[in-house]
Structure formats: structure tokens, C-alpha cells
Structure 1
Amino acid sequence: MPAPKKALRRSLTVTSAALTALALLSPTALAAPGPSASPSASPSATPPASMSTVGGARLGKPGTQVELAGGAPVLPKDVTARSWIVADAESGDVLAAHNAHWRLAPASTLKMLFADTLLPKWPKTTKHKVEVSDLAGIGAGSSLVGVKEEETYTVHDLWLGVFLRSGNDAVHVLSAMNGGVEQTVADMNAHAEELQALDTHAVSPDGYDMPGQVSSAYDLTLFARSGLQKKDFREYASTVRAKFPGETKKDKKGKTTRKPFEIQNTNRLLAGDYDVDVYPGIAGVKNGNTTNAGATFTGVAERDGRVLLVTVMNPAKDEHNEVYKETARLFDWGFKSAGKVRPVGQLVAPRSAAQGSPSAEASGEAGGTGKGAGGTKPVAGAPAADGSGGVGVAAGIAAGALVLLAGGAFLINRKWPLPDLVRRRTRP
């Protein structure tokens, strides 16, 4: 079908009721997994003098790249990240960047590439019984969701574990289903090349620090933009909390039970924390933290019909949740600068799109039905049927609808828009 000339507009406003409800959650309940141990050496302290020029020559230069027009606000001065980027998710315009192509350890933000690569492979109802070998090779200190050997999980369960708890155990089980870690890493690297994410070299599918494993703020933003073309990816990335299957237990009478437990998203701009508010309009995407990478984060948010992607890698300022605070400042700047800055580069389309052959993934459909299972509460979801949705984003949001673009997902001039994420309507 002919590509649309405009992407559909969206409304992703997070309501004040949701903010209030999330503020009541305890910091302990929202604690993020700690950084993993690192087997590799620390990266250099300064960026290379020249870097990749994918997306434009200015993006290959070290330092901050921005071109302010009349009335544009100055960039926030308290952004200390080694690398960051602010881009328009629809047009692909890079509004500002700092060392955008610096190849750094990505931490669990690399799971965006993992998910974008593997999500289409199985319907979410597919079941898998975990073998001991599935959980082999998980790095010491890894973030885990609580997958148990000899237990059966659906693919939906496992993806919730990947997106919400950044579970390396869930990643390894899905990798085993895909033929193993080696095959999965090869698939990820091939997909990165297709996306023209040429700064990236994956060694471990979960983002755990490994020698030679690198990505960049530019590439992580490409992964987010590609993943957000997929309906399932958008749903998982926007889920604040969900139920995850527990361990099967047998009582004294021999009766077996398997009670689920709640998992919460460690993305602080989505779920909030004692020192970070839920960011208005946030709809994902993925956070990470390892010894080499420090804190990393890619987020997507909407305001007044504009959708921005922001990636922040390794803030130098050593404060709790600093990566989210710096991301929020860059989002604020990006929304205030709409139409007041000249782009300094572009987020490139995949090779197949650039060659005029839209990928099958552009439809936004991943494997499975895309329908949420019981216990899942996406940002756009209606309150839970049992009334427990009062503590969460769904508490302040009426039933929403996922709206996908009909037809091709690529704009003219090789620009790649973001299909509608989630339409949110506040309660009257």
C-alpha cells in the first residue's frame, strides 16, 4: 500500500491520578536490580576524535551537536552523560546529540535489540518447560525475574520478565528456544546490521558486560524506534506491573498450587520512585545498569502530538536515578524546542526500507495476538477487573485502544514514523 504522508497523531498523557497512585508505592518495592559484575576493562574516558557518520556528518563529531533557531531554549546545563541523543520518533530528525556514535557498553538497553529480533518468532501463547540447561551461563549478579527450572511458562510470561524486570533468566530461556545463546547473538548482530546500527556488537543477548560488547546512543535509539513498530513490543514496554507465575508447591495433602507474584517495571519514568515522578506522556522503553555501562536508558514520550525518543548513557553525576533525571530534562528541552531547532542528523531507516522494500515488521505485528493476558496492566490498560488497579497508572486512565497504522509504515523521503502507540483518555 502507498506510504502515508503523515503519521497519526497521538495522545499519551499520564493523568495526575496515576501520578498520585504511583507516589504511594514504596521505594523498596520499586528497587532496581543491581549492576552486574564486569569481566571486561573499563571504557576510555574520552570519545574518539572521529566516529561513525551514519545519520549525518555532525553526529560523528565529539561533543554536543545542536543548532538553535530563534526562540529555542538552550540545552540543560546539568546533563552529565557521556553520550545522549534527542530525536523525533516520527520524522527521524535528531534535534540534538552528544557523542551520539560513541561505542560504549550498553547494559540491558541491549535487550531492546534482543526483543526486536526475537519477538516475531513465537505466538505469545506458546508454552515452554524450562530445562536446567536453559539457565546455564547467566552472569553473576544478573537481574532476574525468578524463572525456575522444570516449570512451564508462556512466551508472554517470559517477555514480561524481560521488559519489566530485565530478567536475564527470561532472556536465556528465550535464547534457548531460539537455538541457544550463540545463535541468538548472531541473529541480533544480523538484525543490527539490517537496521544500520553499525556501532553495535552484541556478545551476550542480555546486555551483561562482556569483552567487545558495545553499542551507542544512536544505535539504541534505532533499536527503540524499530521495536516500537511492533504492537507486542509497545505493549510490553508500556506495562507498569503484571503477574508472573510462581513456583509450583505441594502441600501436606499432596495438592499442588502455583501462585503468581507481582512484578513491577524498573523504568522509573514509567513507574516512578521516591525521587522521580512518572514522566507525563511516557510510554517505555528500556533501562539498564552494569559496572562498565553505568546507568543507561532509552525512553519514548508524547506531548502535543509530538513523539520524542531520548537515549542517555552513563551520567557522570553520581546521584540516585540520575539517568532518569537527565532523560526527563532532555525530554523537556525537546518538547519546548519543537520547530525551533534545525536537525543535526537523522535516524536512518533499515537497509530494506532505504532500498524501497518495506520490511514485513513494519506492520507493527509481532508473533502472537498482541492481546494482553490476565494480570498484565499496560499503561493504556483499563483498571483491573478485581479492582486492584487503584495502585498504578491504570487507576487514572480509562480503557485505551491500540491503534496501528493501516498500510505501509514508511514515510516519503526515507523517514520512518512511529505507529500510534497508545491513545489515552482521561476520566471525565
Structure 2
Amino acid sequence: MKHIMKKRLSLLLAVLVVMTSVFVQPFSAKAQSTLDIEAESAILVDAATGKIVFAKNADEALPPASMTKMMTEYLVWEAIEEGQISWDTTTQISDYPYSISANNSFSGVGLRQNKDYTVRSLYEAMAINSDNATTIALAELIAGSEGEFVKMMNEKGEEMGLPDYKFVNSTGLDNSSLGDNYPEGTEPDETNLLSAESSALLAYHLIKDYPEALEISSIPATEFDGQQIRNWNHMLAHDTTFLKQFYYEGVDGLKTGYTDKAGYSFTGTAERDGQRYISVVMKTASEEERFAQTAKLLDYGFDNFETTELFPAGYQLEDQSSISVAKGKEDVVSVSTGQAVSFPIQKDEANQYSINYTLDEEKLNAEGELTAPVKKGDVVGSAEVVYEGENDYGYIMTGSDGPIEIVADESVEKSNWFMLTLGAVGDFFADLFTTAADWVKGLFS
């Protein structure tokens, strides 16, 4: 009896082991394809290529709160680059930003009037401590008024190709919070709007054009006007016990945001082993949750994707490896991709990608031929990478997945006049013979 019970117990354990192996799988790339992000909208983007690797309601325009300040940061960097201001330029605080700084509900750094502040100190208070008054002071310095600065913000948004955006002030506060100081040209009940996709694209441009911005956004705490100010990005290496729980290796930016309308949002970025991602979560439930959801997004990117060269430079399709050439010393020219095609893909999915060629019809004659002379490296068409799996989210910028140029691999010189004449004579008699043959055939048909 004991032997039978022991045998049954062994069998039961074996079944449990099998069931465990079936149902308790490691958290693999396949499992993560249904990543559950607890936010109204979210996106994860490869910072090198702009490839979107995850998106949730990413085109929904929502109030971004202080994530708006990334655009103000960009315009400050641009003004410095163009020589309009420098880090050492000083300015004083007008009544408008002073009133914002004196309002305890905005938790400002406590700006003082009749005091010179450098652009550097104002920028650090804005980028590190998300201070609103210093943001307004910078907007006024650059454009003369916040209303004029808002025009610059919207123009830059259009130039960047942000798909869903509306800027009505430089800070991300609701205009209703500004009292009578809401910027000229806007309405008192308006607020800024960005989609997660637009916020990620704005961050992409800031990092790409001014990578030094990360040197400031990565500072956990600093001194301002005799006081310590802290970064609201808790995923940095803070020195307090409470904040250490949010630390995430590689995070060095960018901007948090909170208002009653916006909820808790965060545009973050992290780099590990040369791979950088930009993440956005909007309208999460709490301050802690925005960092937890960001960590979940970044883990998904780092754990499940790797940048892979899918097609090398010089790649050829078997049935489209050459193009006929008219009036050349050679009848055909070899063609291939002009550059390597690389971006992050889920591990073991390289076989899910193929490539298609499209020749530039404007460069072909009526017979679909190139006309000599053809120079090595001439662009003769473009290629498109096709993903045959699920959830291809595309790129953060329109057209960033192309064009992949198809180029001529060698030069083909134009044939000399004698050979062209012989060819023309040959073509004439060939056409004449064909016409005659068709005529004779018609007589007997």
C-alpha cells in the first residue's frame, strides 16, 4: 500500500513539474509583447534611430505639465548656440516671474528682484528643480515676453515635426494658474498639449542636437542662491534612503511633470552599453507609479531588444541585383543598398524582416533602363524594410525609416558616337524586319 501511495505521489510530482515547465515560463520577449503599462499613454523609442519599440495611445494629446519645459530648454540651448545669449548672461526678475516664485503653491526657488541671475543658474533651476519662475525669466530674456516665446515654441514644434502639440506657455502650468499673466495670444482657460509621441520626439531632438543637456538633467541636487535644490527625477542616484528605491542604472534625464489635469507624467532616458532609450509615461496614478512604469518600459527595451544589422551596405536582392543601361559601354549596372540597415529588434526575430526595392522612375527611360553615363554611387532608387511579425510601431519621425538608398555599384561610361550609330542602325533594321515580318504574317492570316 505504501509502495502504491509512494508511486502515485511520484507521478503527481512529475505532473506538477511538467505543468510548471509549461505555464511558468521566464519573462521572455514573447511574453512582453503584451506589456501592460499602467498609464493613459506611453511610448519607448530607440534614441539612435528613432525606432518605436512600444506604444500605448501614443498619439493622444494630453496636458504634459512640466515636460513642456523641454521645449524651453531646447530654445535656450539654441539661443546660446546662435550667440544671442551665453551661460554668463545675466538678467533680473520682472514682476510676473517674481509673483509666480512668491506663490507657495508653486514651490519655487524663491527668486528675488533687483538681483542679477545668470542664464546658467536659471537654467539649472528649471531643468533640475522644474522651477516655473526661472523658466518664465528665461523666456522673457530670449523673446522679450512669454507671449512671443510661445510663438517660438510652436514654430519650433512645427519645424521638429511634432505630430500632436500645442504650446500656450513656457512652463506647463495651466493658464488659469497664471492669473492675468497668461501669455498674450493665448486664452485664460488653455493648457499645453503633447502626445507621448510628441514628447518623445521633442526629447529626441534635445538629446540629438544638444547632448550636453543630459549633463545638467542628470544632476540629482545642486545649490541655487544659497539653498539646495533637488531633481524631481527620482530615478537618478539620489543620496536619501527614500529616493534610492527609485534608482535605475543608466538614467540621466529628462523631465517630470505634474498638474491636476495632467496627472503624474515623466519623459525619461537611459543608456546602457551604448544603447539609449527614450521613454514617456503620461497620466499615471502617482508620483511613485510614474517611475515604476518607466522602469518597466526601460526593462522591456534593454531586456528584449538588441540593435542588429539586418542588411549590410551592398546588400542585393537576387532578382533585382542589376539594371539595364541604355547608350552605355556596358548593358547593365550592378545595384545594391548604399548603407547598412540597423535598428533594435526583438531577439531571434531577424528572419521576420525583408527588404523591397523601388526604382526611381524619373531616372529611367520608357523601357525601364538607366541612360549612360552612370556614376558609381548614383542613387537609382530606394528600399523599404518590411516586418512580417506583429506590432511594428514604426519610427518617431516621419520618413526616418527611409530612404534606404539603392545605388549603382560601378560606373558605366557613355558609348562613343560610332558604337551608338551602329546600335541605332541595328535597331532601325531590327524594327524594319519586325514590321515586315508582321506585314507578311498578316497577308497569310
Q: What TM-score do the two structures reach when normalised by structure 2?
A: 0.57
Say which SS state the counterpart of residue 296 (structure 1) adopts: strand
Which residue of 253, 270, 278 maps to 1:301?
270
Paired residue type of 2:222: A
Distance 2:261 2:113 in 1: 30
Distance 2:104 2:222 in 1: 26
1:174 aligns with 2:223: no
Distance 1:319 1:213 in 2: 20
Give the aligned partner of residue 261 of structure 1: 227
Paired residue type of 1:145: V
Unaligned runs of 5+ in 1: 1-69, 246-259, 355-409, 415-428
Paired residue type of 2:78: P
Which residue of 279, 288, 294 maps to 2:257?
288
Which residue of 138, 141, 146 maps to 2:110?
146
User: In structure 2, do the counterparts of structure 1 residues 216 and 132 end up closer, same or farther at CA, with 3 Å as the change threshold?
Assistant: same
Query: Contact 1:227 / 1:234 at 8 angstroms: preserved in 2?
Result: no
Say which SS state the counterpart of residue 69 (structure 2) adopts: helix
Which structure has more helix as a fraction of its residues? 2
Mapping of residues 140-219 of structure 1, within 5 Å: 141-178=105-142, 179-210=144-175, 211-219=190-198
Q: What TM-score do the two structures reach when normalised by structure 1?
A: 0.59
Query: Contact 1:296 / 1:312 at 8 angstroms: preserved in 2?
Result: yes
Which residue of 199, 215, 235 maps to 1:220?
199
Distance 2:125 2:34 in 1: 34
Distance 2:266 2:58 in 1: 14
Mapping of residues 24-423 of structure 1, within 5 Å: 71-75=29-33, 79-121=37-79, 122-136=85-99, 141-178=105-142, 179-210=144-175, 211-228=190-207, 229-245=209-225, 260-272=226-238, 274=242, 276-315=245-284, 318-338=285-305, 339-340=345-346, 343-348=392-397, 413=403
User: In structure 2, do the counterparts of structure 1 residues 411 and 115 end up closer, same or farther at CA, with 3 Å as the change threshold?
Assistant: farther
User: In structure 2, do the counterparts of structure 1 residues 130 and 319 end up closer, same or farther at CA, with 3 Å as the change threshold?
Assistant: closer
**Superposed CA RMSD:** 2.4
User: In structure 2, do the counterparts of structure 1 residues 331 and 163 end up closer, same or farther at CA, with 3 Å as the change threshold?
Assistant: same
Q: Deviations over 1:354-406 (max 9, x none)?
A: 7xxxxxxxxxxxxxxxxxxxxxxxxxxxxxxxxxxxxxxxxxxxxxxxxxxxx
Distance 1:263 1:212 in 2: 27
User: In structure 2, do the counterparts of structure 1 residues 123 and 76 end up closer, same or farther at CA, with 3 Å as the change threshold?
Assistant: farther
Distance 2:393 2:123 in 1: 35
Shift of 1:137: 6.2
Shift of 1:98: 0.2
Query: Contact 1:135 / 1:172 at 8 angstroms: preserved in 2?
Result: no
Say which SS state the counterpart of residue 345 (structure 1) adopts: coil
Distance 1:149 1:76 in 2: 53
User: In structure 2, do the counterparts of structure 1 residues 137 and 181 end up closer, same or farther at CA, with 3 Å as the change threshold?
Assistant: farther
Distance 1:117 1:132 in 2: 23
Question: In percent, how many aligned pairs have the same letter?
Answer: 28
Distance 2:94 2:192 in 1: 27
Say which SS state the counterpart of residue 281 (structure 2) adopts: strand
Query: Contact 2:267 / 2:278 at 8 angstroms: preserved in 1?
Result: yes
Paired residue type of 1:127: T
Which structure has more strand as a fraction of its residues? 2
Shift of 1:73: 4.1
Which deviates further from its counterpart, 162-171 or 127-136? 127-136
Paired residue type of 2:92: K
Higher relative contact order (CA 8 A, sep 6+): 1
Paired residue type of 1:221: A
Distance 1:292 1:128 in 2: 32
Paired residue type of 1:345: G
Which deviates further from its counterpart, 318-327 or 201-210? 318-327
Give the aligned partner of residue 402 of structure 1: none
Q: Deviations over 1:285-341 (max 9, x none)?
A: 1101100000110111112321111000012xx445110110001100111121317
User: In structure 2, do the counterparts of structure 1 residues 150 and 308 end up closer, same or farther at CA, with 3 Å as the change threshold?
Assistant: same
Distance 1:289 1:184 in 2: 22
Shift of 1:160: 0.5
Unaligned runs of 5+ in 2: 1-27, 80-84, 176-189, 306-344, 350-386, 405-445
Say which SS state the counterpart of residue 134 (structure 2) adopts: helix
